[in-house]
Amino acid sequence: MGQAEVSVLLTDDETVHRLNRSYRGHDKPTDVLSFSLREQGAGEPQYVKLGLETEALGDIVISVDTAEQQARAVGVSLEHEVTHLALHGALHLLGYTDDTEEGLALMEHKAGAIQAASDGPA
């Protein structure tokens, strides 16, 4: 894959709740949702081509309401929490899953490593 495009929507609990209910059957808000544009099928995933070697991976929807609550609960800034959720959502678009403890641990490790690398030395 060359260049890729991801859409990120920062919104509220009400919007995320509605999307979570409609697309996942979960009648509650959540922190982040990912909607892949990957075509499912055998072999390597295929993404929607936008031209100029750019591929559309999908959409990430983040509830700022929930992100604020989570940031306060763990003592980090809202910016840090939203970045972490965006990374988590992007990993889903790249095919990672968190439906097992091992999958979630791997995603959390990868997101943490990416975030730490982008923060630079303290």
E strand or H helix at 43: none
pTM of the complete model: 0.82
Q: Is 6 helix (H, G, I), strand (E, B) or coil?
A: strand
3-state helix, strand, coil split of the chain in percent (to 5) is 50, 25, 30
- Say if strands 32-36 and 54-63 run parallel, antiparallel, or are unpaired: antiparallel
- Mean residue pLDDT across the chain: 86
Q: Which is higher by pLDDT, 113 or 119?
A: 113
Cβ 6 vs Cβ 93: under 8 Å: yes
What is the predicted pLDDT for the residue at 47? Answer: 53
In the chain, the percentage of residues whose pLDDT exceeds 90 is: 61
Q: What is the DSSP string of 63-106?
A: EHHHHHHHHHHHT--HHHHHHHHHHHHHHHHTT---SSHHHHHH
- Per-residue model confidence as pLDDT tens digits over 93-115: 988 999 899 999 999 899 888 88
Question: Token digits for 104?
Answer: 């979630």
Cβ atoms within 10 Å of 63's Cβ, excluding its own: 27
In the CATH scheme, what is the code of domain 3-119? 3.40.390.30
- Per-residue model confidence as pLDDT tens digits over 67-80: 999 999 999 999 99
Q: Where are the domains of the chain?
A: 3-119
State the Cα–Cα distance between residues 29 and 39, nearest whole angstrom: 27
What is the predicted pLDDT for the residue at 101? Answer: 94
